[in-house]
Structure 1
Amino acid sequence: MPREELVQAAEELKHASTNVSGDVKDRLESQADTLSDLAEADHGPDHGRLDRIMHSLSELKSDVDEETEERIESAYDHVKAHRETVSGV
Structure 2
Amino acid sequence: MVRDELQQASDTLREASELVDEETQQRLYDQSNQLAELATRDADPDHGRLDRHMNVLHELGRELDGEASELVQSARNSVKEYRKTVPGV
Equivalent residue number for residue 34 of structure 1 = 34
Letter in 2 for 1:10: S
Query: After superposition, what is the alpha-carbon deviation per residue over 1:8-37, rounded to whole angstroms, capped at 9, x for unaligned?
Result: 000100000000122211110000000000
Letter in 1 for 2:81: A
Partner secondary structure for residue 32 of structure 2: helix
For 2:62 and 2:3, how far apart are their aligned partners in 1? 27
Displacement, 1:63? Answer: 1.9
Equivalent residue number for residue 57 of structure 1 = 57
Displacement, 1:57? Answer: 0.2
Q: Normalising by structure 2, report the TM-score.
A: 0.96
Equivalent residue number for residue 11 of structure 1 = 11
Query: After superposition, what is the alpha-carbon deviation per residue over 1:66-89, rounded to whole angstroms, capped at 9, x for unaligned?
Result: 100110011001000000000011
- Unaligned runs of 5+ residues in structure 2 are none
For 2:66 and 2:44, how far apart are their aligned partners in 1? 31
The list of structure 1 runs, each at least 4 consecutive aligned residues, that deviate by more than 2 angstroms after superposition, is: none
Equivalent residue number for residue 70 of structure 1 = 70
- Unaligned runs of 5+ residues in structure 1 are none
Letter in 2 for 1:74: S
For 1:23 and 1:85, how far apart are their aligned partners in 2? 33
Q: Normalising by structure 1, report the TM-score.
A: 0.96
Give the number of equivalent residue pairs.
89
